[in-house]
Amino acid sequence: MTQPVTIIMVEDDEGHARLIERNIRRSGVNNEIVSFTTGTDAMRHLFGADGSGLVQKGNALLILLDLNLPDMTGIDILKQIKENKYLKASPVVVLTTTDDSQEIKRCYELGCNVYITKPVNYENFANAIRQLGLFFSVIQVPPAAP
Amino acid sequence: MTAEGQRRRAFWQILLFAAGLFVLTAISAGSVYLVNKAREDSKWVIHTIEAQNQINALLLEIRRAESTARGYLLTRRSDFKADHDKAVAAIVPALDRLTRLTGDNPQQRKSIETLSSAIETRLGQFAQEMEFIRQDQPEKAAALVSELASADTTAAIAEVATGMLREEERLFRLRTVNSDRSQTLAASMTGIGSGLVVVLALISIWLVRRSARVRDEAEARLRDANLNLEAVVDERTADLREANDEIQRFAYIVSHDLRSPLVNIMGFTSELEELGGDIFRRIGSLSHAPAEGAPLAPAGPGEIALEGADKQLQEDFSEALGFIKSSIAKMDRLISAILNLTREGRREFQPVKVDTRELIEAIVTTLAHQAAEAQAEIHVEPLPALVSDRLALEQIFSNLIDNAIKYLKPRVPGEIRIRGRTKLGYAIFEVSDNGRGIDPKDHQRIFDLFRRAGTQDKPGQGIGLAHVRALVRRLGGTMSVSSELNTGSTFTITLPIAWNVSNRNRDR
């Protein structure tokens, strides 16, 4: 039996986190969502105390990442995830206010799977998240590594 | 080098020059005078010698006359007679010459008078002698001769002549000394003058060399100052650039970070709106339920009309939310504008050759619809081509032309004209219209971010002209406006014809 996918949300703004979670739930996705408001906490959870990522071995993850974090940039986190052998297969969705084309390009180069700009217009925002939720419901996360 | 020192040096140089000139003039005048004097003195020396010669010649002629007279008396040979006649004939002219020569000296003139009377006597005696000989009375003649020899006429002549010779000798010595003195004076004057001139020239050379040294030092200092100035300018430019970059970063970060809470405000306002909808639906269903007498099915999507105070509440609620939402939308637009401006400020420009006319005609084509709606005609005159950033030029001109169309006078056919010319390496473009114009007191304001002027009847954020001016400045140009209310506006843009990226890179 496949293990349920856990959604890891790294988002410093609790309001954004709440809005995202709410809209994901509205789209009918009921997977567990684990939120972190700082990069350090997220890194500890993802890579474990030893930083090897062994703790997540065998877990199916989907990572929602904000780029503007108070203690580090999301780009660093993205880079480390994609360089770690236990985590690199997990899809990463970058969800941020930055719509700078250079930054978008850089994220895709580093292995980000989806890049979404948070629109201020709430309709669009809600739509984007709901569609992301739909996307989650059909996405096939690779089976946990043995 | 102080101005005071400079003036003093110049004064000394002029003084030296004047002194040299004066010395030279004095030497020249003195030399001329002394040389003339020496010549005069020499002339007098020669004059004295001549006078001496003349006295001697006179005496010689008298002796000759005497001796020939004696010879004739003894031999009666006619050649002695001829010689005697010649000698006697020569005496008078010789005496006359002597008289002329010594005419300047009163003492000599007196001697001459004595001499000439003695000579006259002597000549008479010669004539008597000759007469006796002719009458063939030689003994009488001989007697006369011997008498004469003892008489003092000859001695007197000799004495007077010797006196005259002595006088001339004295004059000769005196005049020789004079002449020598004049010549020595002339020589020493020339010598001293030359020495003075040499000394003045040396002082002058020293002064010139000193001022040259001072000038060299000043030049060196000036060079240093220039280098220093360049360094200072570079430093300041670097500071300014840093400050500018800082502002850009600041604007970017601020606008970015302002956006984040805005997402929340907007998001939760929408949530609130939805909640409000739910609440009012529930109120509606509760207030309607007794009337319909049956429990209402779970609230459907359909709107339930509210009444009275409830309706008022719902309206107030929606109105408040509407204001919040429109304010958020406006704030979002402003933040986006700042973001775009800073992003534009960070974009690297690429200088390419741009056919400006073609570019502007392309813009006019895209704006053709708006122009037709505003009944505006757009005339594009021949424009100079330039090397610049194409995208920036497009943004500049489309903003200006768009503004010109947007702010035409209602019900007046618009006429928009784009002219161009070149001047001193710059291309000058003018975009003029016959629109509503801008009050002169607003000319500065329209270039400020988020500021607009005139009747606010057209949509806009007050960003266009600020953006255009920022672009023009980045392209190394300037921009100005001339306009009166109701008579149209002319925007003038001056851009370098050959803007090159190296300038820009150095500036960055």
| Cβ-based neighbours of B407, under 8 Å, separated by 6 or more | B433, B435, B436, B454, B458, B489
Predicted complex ipTM: 0.74
CATH code at position B32: 1.20.120.30
Window 49-88 of A: residues touching B by CB (8 A cutoff) are 68
Domain edge (last residue) among B160, B194, B212: B212
Report the 10 Å Cβ neighbour count for B256: 19
Q: What residues in A contact B329, CB-CB < 8 Å?
A: 120-121
Residue B479's pLDDT is 92
Residue B294's pLDDT is 47
Expressed in angstroms, the distance from the first to the final Cα of chain B is 39
Q: Which domain holds residue B125?
A: 3-212
Of A100, A120, A123, the CB nearest to B259: A120
Residue given tokens 């052998």 in the structure block: A85
**Is there a contact between B267 and A122 if contact means CB atoms under 8 Å apart?**
yes
> In terms of domains, do B319 and B355 share one?
no
Residue B430's pLDDT is 93
Confirm whether B122 is domain-assigned. Answer: yes
Residue B216's pLDDT is 94
**Is there a contact between B263 and A97 if contact means CB atoms under 8 Å apart?**
yes
Confirm whether B279 is domain-assigned. Answer: yes
CATH code at position B400: 3.30.565.10
Mark out the alpha helices in B350-425 (DSSP H runs).
Answer: 356-366, 368-373, 390-406
Of A68, A120, A126, the CB nearest to B332: A120
| pLDDT tens column, B238-272 | 998 888 888 878 877 777 778 888 888 888 888 89
Q: Tell me the nearest-neighbour CA distance from A26 into chain B, angstroms.
A: 12
**Is there a contact between B266 and A125 if contact means CB atoms under 8 Å apart?**
yes
> In terms of domains, do B417 and B498 share one?
yes
CB contact A121 to B (< 8 Å): yes
- Domain boundaries in chain A? 6-138
Is pLDDT at B290 greater than 60 in this prediction? no
Partnered with residue B389 across adjacent β-strands are B351
**Is there a contact between B262 and A123 if contact means CB atoms under 8 Å apart?**
no
Q: Are B425 and B496 in contact (CB under 8 A)?
A: yes
Rg (CA), chain B: 64
> In terms of domains, do B269 and B190 share one?
no
Cα–Cα distance for residue pair A34/A64, rounded to 1 Å: 10
Q: What residues in A contact B268, CB-CB < 8 Å?
A: 15, 19
Mean pLDDT of A66-79: 87
Is pLDDT at B297 greater than 80 in this prediction? no
- The CATH class of A6-138 is alpha beta
With bands split at pLDDT 50, 70 and 90, how would you rate the model's confidence at B295?
very low
Cα–Cα distance for residue pair B49/B71, rounded to 1 Å: 32
Q: Tell me the nearest-neighbour CA distance from B389 into chain A, angstroms.
A: 20
Q: Please tell me which residue, B150 or A25, carries the higher pLDDT value.
A: A25
Confirm whether B384 is domain-assigned. Answer: yes
Domain edge (last residue) among B311, B341, B371: B341
Domain edge (last residue) among B341, B359, B375: B341
CB contact A144 to B (< 8 Å): no
> In terms of domains, do B188 and B312 share one?
no
> In terms of domains, do B314 and B373 share one?
no
- Type of residue at B65: A
| pLDDT tens column, B18-46 | 888 888 888 888 888 888 888 888 888 88
CA proximity to A65, closest of A120, A141, A8: A8
Indicate the length of chain B as a whole number.
Answer: 508
Mean pLDDT of B183-190: 85
Is pLDDT at B296 greater than 50 in this prediction? no
Which two tokens mark A111? 């292995």
| pLDDT tens column, B440-468 | 888 888 888 778 887 777 877 788 888 88
Q: Are A20 and A9 in contact (CB under 8 A)?
A: yes
Confirm whether B229 is domain-assigned. Answer: no
Residue A9's pLDDT is 92
**Is there a contact between A16 and B267 if contact means CB atoms under 8 Å apart?**
yes
Residue B506's pLDDT is 45
Cα–Cα distance for residue pair A45/A51, rounded to 1 Å: 9
Mean pLDDT of B198-208: 87
Cα–Cα distance for residue pair B294/B302, rounded to 1 Å: 17
With bands split at pLDDT 50, 70 and 90, how would you rate the model's confidence at B289?
low
Confirm whether B186 is domain-assigned. Answer: yes
| pLDDT tens column, B385-429 | 888 888 889 989 999 999 898 888 888 888 999 999 998 889 999
Is pLDDT at B302 greater than 60 in this prediction? no
Angle between helices B153-292 and B308-346 (to 10 degrees): 150
Which residues of B366-488 form beta strands (DSSP E)? Answer: 376-380, 386-389, 414-423, 426-432, 478-483
- A67, A96, A104, A122: best to mutate for the B interface, most B CBs within 10 A: A122
**Is there a contact between B263 and A98 if contact means CB atoms under 8 Å apart?**
no
Residue B150's pLDDT is 65
Maximum mean pLDDT: which of A52-61, B105-114, B422-431:
B422-431
With bands split at pLDDT 50, 70 and 90, how would you rate the model's confidence at A140?
low
Residue given tokens 């350090």 in the structure block: A40
- B248, B262, B266: best to mutate for the A interface, most A CBs within 10 A: B266
Is pLDDT at B502 greater than 60 in this prediction? no
DSSP H or E stretch at residue A63? strand A61-65
Q: Tell me the nearest-neighbour CA distance from A139 into chain B, angstroms.
A: 26
Is pLDDT at B50 greater than 80 in this prediction? yes
B313-339: burial string, b at 16+ Cβ within 10 Å, e else: ebeebeeeeeeebeebeebbebbbbbb
With bands split at pLDDT 50, 70 and 90, how would you rate the model's confidence at B507?
very low
Confirm whether B228 is domain-assigned. Answer: no
Residue B2's pLDDT is 64
Q: What residues in A contact B257, CB-CB < 8 Å?
A: 68
With bands split at pLDDT 50, 70 and 90, how would you rate the model's confidence at B492?
very high
Per-chain mean pLDDT for chain B? 83
| pLDDT tens column, A33-57 | 899 988 888 998 988 888 788 888 8
Is pLDDT at A58 greater than 90 in this prediction? no
Cα–Cα distance for residue pair B335/B261, rounded to 1 Å: 12
Q: What residues in B contact A121, CB-CB < 8 Å?
A: 266, 329, 332
CA proximity to B57, closest of B21, B15, B8, B101: B101
Report the sign of the C-alpha dihedral through residues B50, B53, B55, B60, in that order: negative
Confirm whether B169 is domain-assigned. Answer: yes
CB contact A98 to B (< 8 Å): yes
Q: Tell me the nearest-neighbour CA distance from B334 into chain A, angstroms.
A: 12
> In terms of domains, do B68 and B163 share one?
yes
Residue A1's pLDDT is 39
Q: How many domains does chain B have?
A: 3
Confirm whether B445 is domain-assigned. Answer: yes
> In terms of domains, do B296 and B154 share one?
no
> In terms of domains, do B9 and B103 share one?
yes
